[in-house]
Chains A and B, each alone.
Chain A
Amino acid sequence: MLKMMKYEYRRGIFPLLVVITALAAAELLFLIGVFGKKDICVGLGLIFLILGGFAAYLFVLVYGVIIYSQDLKNKTGYMVFMTPLSNFKIIGAKLLSILLTGATLVVFLAIIMVVDYNVIKTHDSNIAGMEIMLNGILGTNGSSLGTIIANLAAFIVVVLIQFFTMITIAYLAVSLSSTVLQNKKIKGVVSFVLFIVLYVLMSYIAFKLPHLGVGMQAGTMLEALYASLPQFALYVVCMIGSYIGSAVLLSKKISL
């Protein structure tokens, strides 16, 4: 499985490098603005980094689904499915390599965020002052900047898990399209509709599920994550269900 992961990661490395190069260019623009005291460059650099970060993450994850879809439609799938590995291992390797690619990007973005905040704080004394002032205001409400960052970080983790669940549901839809629906003329439409229905249903249930520790101020990321534990559990169940469903469908009905 690790060997398959290596090859799957290698297949996605080129788009990842393109994305990282584009983000590095935005970062360079930002740094030129900070050190050259050009506000327009700082602003543009930040906008490109924020929007580019979201777009890049979306692209890298969606690219993983495209690769899987291509493997089931094009001949490159022979290379993957002629190996003596179970479909559980093959799909597991594909999903984990997407996760690894996404994690690489998240780590890269997190490093950029921390570095940029410290760079801008060092070069602009107003930022450090604003940080103290904001902490003071939040303190009067029994909160702090640390609390907000913890909640924000927990929110990002939940969003990432939700997004990864979406990828596994997309895998299930692609698997359905290439297996039980393979002889249907509108298999693409049916599987897309099914994907939307499953995802909306999951999101609706997640919305209806209660949050734990209502009224509690989360001081750390773990405390904030605890609040979303029911949603977190739902996403994990959907993720595992979609993974098993995809592997079983391929085992029963693969047709390359």
Chain B
Amino acid sequence: MLKCEHLVKKYITTTAISDLSLEIEPGHIYALLGPNGSGKSTLMKIIAGLVKPDSGTITIDGVPMTYRSKKDIAYMPTEAYFFGYMNCKDIGKYYKDFFDDFDYDKYMGLLAEMELNPDQKAKSMSSGMLAKLKIAVTLSRDSRIVMLDEPLNGIDIIAREKIISTIVRNISDDTAVLMSSHLVDELERIVDHAFFIKNGTCVLQGDAEELRVSRGKSIVDMYKEIYA
């Protein structure tokens, strides 16, 4: 469904993405793995249309991406990005205004599930609350592609289990999920495919179970082997 081919993105002194190619299909949860600065977030921003690559192509169902493709992509950045004046309700209305697939009732339900006050302003929230809010607003879209950049950042160990089950429960079978996290062991339980990103390029990828069998080790151990 989504195909990235030979993507390159350079900044002043660094090459964030270097000849990176990958493909994702609906009905799968993909782990995007790598340490800080490996290029995971840049790749997600490129797919979300927030960063233009210097070269390379991205297609969805064989059609090159345009601004219209953004209606098929629900992207959750790792940083807080809401307008200062907005409370949770305002954020929901904003998404409803711009995304036809946004379900406001589902959003209010997720806010309640995550014990967030709909009238609270985003700028007055703790990092943990903001992380939950970002997940709630992103999962309330019924998009073909869902990208979650470090969804467990700022969430305490007790709440992580709940967040992971919320993510898995709220994803439909025809959705492709791309998820990055430093907490590889938390992801290992739910992903069925892994991309290992190093220095902006994909050094290993494959079906999670096949990788485990062929290499005789867990995804966590493969992560340690590649990045240690």
Contact = CB atoms under 8 A, between A and B. Distances in A.
Interface of A: 3, 7, 10-11, 14, 75-79, 81-87, 182-185, 251-256
B48 interface: yes
B98 A76 contact: no
A188 to B, nearest CB: 14
Given A7-B83, A75-B80, A183-B12, A83 B98 contact: yes
Contacts of B75: 78, 82
Given A84-B99, A183-B12, A78 B67 contact: no
B131 to A, nearest CB: 14
Interface in B75-112: 75, 77, 79-85, 94, 97-99
Interface stretch (B49-57, B153-161, B199-207, B211-219): B49-57
A199 to B, nearest CB: 28
Interface string B186-210: 0000000000000000000000000
A14 B85 contact: yes
Nearest to A79: B81
Contacts of A87: 67
A184 B10 CA distance: 12
Nearest to B75: A82
A77 B82 CA distance: 9
A254 B52 contact: yes
A254 B98 contact: no
Nearest to B98: A83
A254 B46 CA distance: 10
A3 B77 CA distance: 23
A95 to B, nearest CB: 18
